Structure 1
Amino acid sequence: MASTIARTAGRVLFGENARAYAAFRPGYPERVFDILRARCGAGEGRTVFEVGAGTGLATAPLLAMGCRVTAVEPDAKLAALLVDSQAAYAERLAVQVGPFEEAALSPGSFDLGIAATSLHWVDPDLALTKAFHLLHPGGHWAMWWNIFGDPDEPDAFQQRTHALFERLSKSPSHGDGPKGHFGLDRKRRIAELEQAGFRSIVAEELRWRPVLNRQQILGLTATFSPVARLPEIERQAFLGRLGAIVDEEFGGRVQRHFMTAIYVARRP
């Protein structure tokens, strides 16, 4: 049985190729930010903390809305890229480099907290308890995941390459719930939110169907933690096999079935 990658590995793994991560990881559906506006009041002047900001796929839209964001990112290389890419919003962006568990943030001082495809790299009980106390009463918490495959309707490429990925180690995002992904284990995620004290919990699943070319498929796949941690020779061989499948069996373009699972909750 394949081993599971330690959560602490996420603190350094993605920064090894930060620019590729920024180039090939897709952004989040606009519906996510509509939810943040409508249910969480995200917008001008709102204070937000972010768990594991990465290169800013969620940070940038929040800054564009007018939010003041304190981004916590354990990887110094990703944090540096985030600061550079969001220089236009420097007066409204503060970046703390280090694990969220150790971040020095003022309790009760935020309107909104978020974790975008990051909470599985942190102990969820510890993270949610800390998030709860960082919010002021009435503040909101949102966590979501981009999921690069739909367990209810797997696409042809996912079905064709499943056996290749099964041989790799597992990301902490690989959940043991009925749908096989941390973010899709709705019962457990809601229970954790309730245990931390959150109420008014709403969960939603979004589906989207991008068409990706060979470069996009390989660039995205190279950012997946089980692939990123392979030795260079093995990683290139793995990506070469995928590239051959894209070219020879899919004509160089693949329609993928992606999902985004989002949870929104409120501190009473």
Structure 2
Amino acid sequence: MKTSATRFSDSVEEYIKYRPGYPQQVIEILKEEIDLNPRSIIADIGSGTGISSALFVNNGNKVLAVEPNREMREAAELIYLNNSNFTSINGTAQQTSLPQHSIDIIFCAQAFHWFNTTETKIEFSRILQPNGDMVFVWNVRKDENDFQKDYETILRHIPEYNKVTHKNISDEDISDFFAPKRIHKKNSC
């Protein structure tokens, strides 16, 4: 089994083509709920090819995109070439190399389930402003038709999938990670 840092190295092109993006409503919710504004500095942790960074770059935010996978990071660097709002950083959730208390919002899209939560919590506390926010987002397949249900059943027969799926993360896991802050959960946009 590949590590989380090398897992997508040989499928970057497919990742760019087929990985779903995130709806603009995420930005609207964050403006309303946590006062996101164009001056907010975003750390996109586990940024991959920059799919989630696009939300914030297009909102005028400075995005520090932290990604350990070289191939994914280089793809993002090409996508955002000459965009002054995007900075690519070779790092992990546990070791971002970002300055202490420099981040207004830590954003993790489809990534939290890859992190060593004990070390990541320490790092996030170090880089986040005292009044900063953490936002975790997942695109979730809805098992609302027979095809989707059968597809999930097939995936569940793959041992690796069962080890790495975000479905292994519970609300309690996230609450423990956020503590002493409280989580506010939105199920869909």
SS in 2 for 1:206: coil
The aligned counterpart of 2:186 is 204
Deviations 1:95-134 (A, max 9, x none): 1123222221111111111111001111123213321221
State the secondary structure of the residue aligned to 1:203: coil
Contact 1:15 1:77 in 2 (8 A): yes
Question: For residue 126 of structure 1, what is the aligned residue in structure 2?
Answer: 119
Measured after TM superposition, the shift of residue 200 of structure 1 is 4.2
Higher strand proportion? 1
Structure 2 CA distance, aligned partners of 1:155 and 1:127? 37
Structure 1 letter corresponding to 2:110: T
Match of 1:166 in 2: 156
Q: 2-side partners of 1:56 and 1:102: how far apart?
A: 19
Pick closer, same or farther for the CA change 1:156–1:41 going to 2, 3 Å: same
Instruction: Please state whether the residue corresponding to 1:157 is helix, strand or coil.
Output: helix
Runs of 4+ in 1 over 4 A off after TM superposition: none
Structure 1: how far apart are the matches of 2:95 and 2:177?
A: 20
2:32 match: 38
CA offsets, 1:173-205, max 9 Å, x none? 436xxxxx135x2123112211xx3x2421111
Corresponding position of 2:45: 51
Q: Aligned-pair distance for 1:27?
A: 0.8
2:9 equivalent to 1:19: no
Secondary structure of the residue aligned to 2:187 is strand
1:23-66 deviation per Cα after TM superposition (whole angstroms, max 9, x unaligned): 10111133322222222332312211111001111101101111
Instruction: Give yes or no for contact 2:24–2:55 (8 Å, CA) kept in 1.
Output: no
CA contact (8 A) 1:18 1:81 kept: yes
Indicate conservation of the 8 Å contact 1:40/1:112, yes or no.
Answer: no
2:81 is equivalent to residue 95 of structure 1: no
Q: Given the superposition, is the C-alpha separation of residues 46 and 167 from structure 1 closer, same or farther in structure 2, using an over 3 Å criterion? A: same
Contact 2:101 2:130 in 1 (8 A): yes
Give the Cα separation in 2 of the matches to 1:84 and 1:21.
15
Number of corresponding residues: 188
Match of 1:188 in 2: 173
- How far did residue 94 of structure 1 move? 1.4
User: Which protein is bigger by CA-based radius of gyration?
Assistant: 1
* Mapped partners of 2:93, 2:25: distance in 1: 26
Unpaired runs of at least 5, structure 1:
176-180, 208-268
Identity percentage of aligned residues: 20
**Cα distance 1:162–1:69, how it changes in 2: closer, same or farther (>3 A)?**
closer
CA shift digits 1:156-177 (9 cap, x unpaired): 11223344222212344436xx
Task: Give the letter aligned to residue 204 of structure 1.
Answer: K
Q: TM-score, normalised by structure 2?
A: 0.89
- Name the residue aligned to 1:156: 146
TM-score where L is the length of structure 1: 0.64
SS of 2:58's partner is helix
